[in-house]
Amino acid sequence: MKMIKMMVMLAAFAMAAPISAEAPEDDAASADPPPAAPATVEEIASGVCAGCHNADGNSVIPMNPILAGQHAEYITKQLMDFKATGNEPPKRNSPVMSAMVATLSQEDMKALGAYYAKQKATPSSIAADEKLVEAGKVLYHGGNLGDEIPACASCHGPTGAGIPPHYPAIAGQHAEYTMMQLELFNKAERGGDDNNVMQKVLTRMNPLEKRAVSAYISTMR
């Protein structure tokens, strides 16, 4: 009788052993996978931004701005202006940029600002009309007193280095992009213009003056 009981106990133990050995594997299989690591700023720049601005921020597309060497605070502010917050629409209207920044956190935007500020800028290499450049140089540094147009240098500096965080560095920027932005400011279609400073200036400038200033800025080094 004792022998029978002993055999039953051994058989029960043998049947239970595989179950207990497999249990940890079942638990592991049912566990949630670890969360993906947040994208680094380099990954964001080379993935989200590179298509239009290149990974290092030196855009070769004239209608897209060169970001390399720009003030970190200015870039961060522009990224934030492109993003809708709650029920409020973006301050700057650009469906393309709004889509790009939709998933970026404020920390991501600050990191991108710092990243591009550290990159070495390659100025625009697109040839500009010499007469336009000369006319633009006069306007940039001296303004037009007759039409009450202040010198661009008064806010953006004599070398185009800008004054952060409100006034961006503009030296070497693509003329096409600069001209586009001047037109948007003129029509009050670009938000983020503190006290409408740019709009007030541009309403006094004629199309030729805008083109001239844009051309000169692209040649500044």
Domains of the chain: 41-117 (1.10.760.10), 130-219 (1.10.760.10)
- Give the pLDDT confidence score for residue 192 in this predicted structure: 84
Q: Can you say whether the dihedral through the CA atoms of 129, 134, 136, 137 is positive or negative?
A: positive
- Taking CA atoms, 9 is separated from 3, 4, 19, 20, 147, in Å, by 10, 9, 16, 16, 105
User: What are phi and psi for residue 164, nearest 5 degrees?
Assistant: -70, 150
pLDDT over 50 at 4, yes or no: no
The b-or-e profile of 119-155 (16+ CB within 10 A means b, else e) is bebbbbeeebeeebbebbbebbeebeeeeebbbbeeb
pLDDT over 90 at 145, yes or no: yes
List the binding residues for heme c: 49, 52-53, 97, 152, 155-156, 198
Give residue-wise pLDDT tens across range 161-209. Answer: 999 888 999 999 999 999 999 999 999 999 888 889 999 999 999 999 9
Contact 60, 54 (CB under 8 A): yes
Global pTM? 0.83
Region of residue 148 (phi > 0: left; psi between -120 and 50: alpha; otherwise: beta)? left
Q: Can you say whether the dihedral through the CA atoms of 124, 62, 196, 134 is positive or negative?
A: positive
What residue type is assigned to position 198 of the chain? M
pLDDT over 70 at 116, yes or no: yes
pLDDT over 50 at 148, yes or no: yes
List the binding residues: 49, 52-53, 97, 152, 155-156, 198
Residues 198 and 214: their CA atoms lie apart, in Å, by: 14
Return the percentage of the chain with pLDDT > 70, whole number: 83
Name residue, tokens 């990954």.
Answer: 43
